[in-house]
Amino acid sequence: MKKTSTRLADGRELIYYDLRDDQVREAVDRRPLERTVTTSEIRRDPLLGDSVAVASHRQGRTYHPPADECPLCPSRNGRLSEIPDSSYDVVVFENRFPSLAGDSGRCEVVCFTSDHDASFADLTEEQAALVLEAWTDRTSELSHLPSVEQVFCFENRGAEIGVTLGHPHGQIYAYPFTTPRTALMLRSLAAHKEATGGENLFDAVVEREGAGERVVLEGEHWVAFVPYAAHWPYEVHLYPRRRVPDLLALDEAARTEFPKVYLELLRRFDRIFDGRDGKEGGGEPPTPYISAWHQAPFGGLEEFDGVNRDDFALHLELFTIRRTSGKLKFLAGSESGMSVFINDVPPERAAERLREVAS
């Protein structure tokens, strides 16, 4: 992998990640952009104890542009985009409309491929491995920013999820606090450790689920399963068999196997509802999903008694809001009002279906 860092016309950082070591990146951003001004602010809820990012400048962000005006495609044929070069393998750049900025953290965009019509599932294993390298590198770099406590790499796919740009891409949020969902895991981890005299809760979950009826697929170094209490109609958790706190700690064997396992998992998601390509006529549109990496915070663990970073288990959670063909799972009263999920698809049936659609 070759990494080349440059600056866009408004001062934002852009980084090329290339498969070839001899690739030269000298293209200059020729757009007349003014320096980005953000209004991001973190406000803490005194009743729930969580935080909300207020970012009014995001109201003006790019919204469903036509394909020939996509800002994530390379700059070609006189049309200038967020990526100055005429081609790329993987690109990461600071979001022009960030939810978090300055002392409130940082937001980045990750472009998986220059092919506008592709998806992550269409990547080769070599391309997917490069994305993993980019996620790992950005996790390392962002963790050293003084305002950052947790790094979150994720992908939103599909209009139903709320994606406003159709180009295959993900995002990275660098939070100045430990997120509420991670805090819940850490509290459960601490309580289990105390109650059992030191047993790791993540290890116990992976051992139980990795030998049960909800396993979807497994490799030598990774295992994917539908959790016992899945919140979403089709939800899969992917764990490395050797517990590590973050992407940086993955060994070479796990890194090598990850692309094959993850690509197969994504392709199965695309086949859950009998086909991924709605453009061919009559088929179900591509499965909308959220893919989210859970990594240990880089600070702020003092409030979780007896827990350190190495107790946390890196894992990826992949889920779709589609519950059956043509129907979505909406977060209504119980879910949105009280955070009590009601799942329409039994986890055992979801796992069975995901095994049925194997390549």
Place of tokens 């955070």: 339
Tell me the C-alpha distance between 313 and 332, whole Å: 31
pTM for the whole structure: 0.95
Beta bridge partners of 291: 155, 318
In three state form, how does the secondary structure of 204-233 look?
A: HHHHHHCCCCCEEEECCCEEEECCCCCCCC
Residue type, 174: A
Answer yes or no: is pLDDT of 275 > 60. no
Q: Quick check: helix, strand or coil at residue 185?
A: helix
Beta bridge partners of 42: 53
Which pLDDT tens digit goes with each residue over 28-71?
Answer: 999 999 887 888 899 999 999 999 999 887 876 776 788 789 99
The catalytic residues are 169
Gyration radius (Cα) of the chain, Å: 20
- Crossing angle (nearest 10°) for helices 180-195 and 201-209: 90
Which pLDDT tens digit goes with each residue over 191-243?
Answer: 999 999 999 999 999 999 999 999 999 999 999 999 999 999 999 999 999 99
What are the tokens at 349?
Answer: 């049936």
Tell me the C-alpha distance between 225 and 85, whole Å: 40
Place of tokens 């020729």: 30
Tell me the C-alpha distance between 91 and 110, whole Å: 6
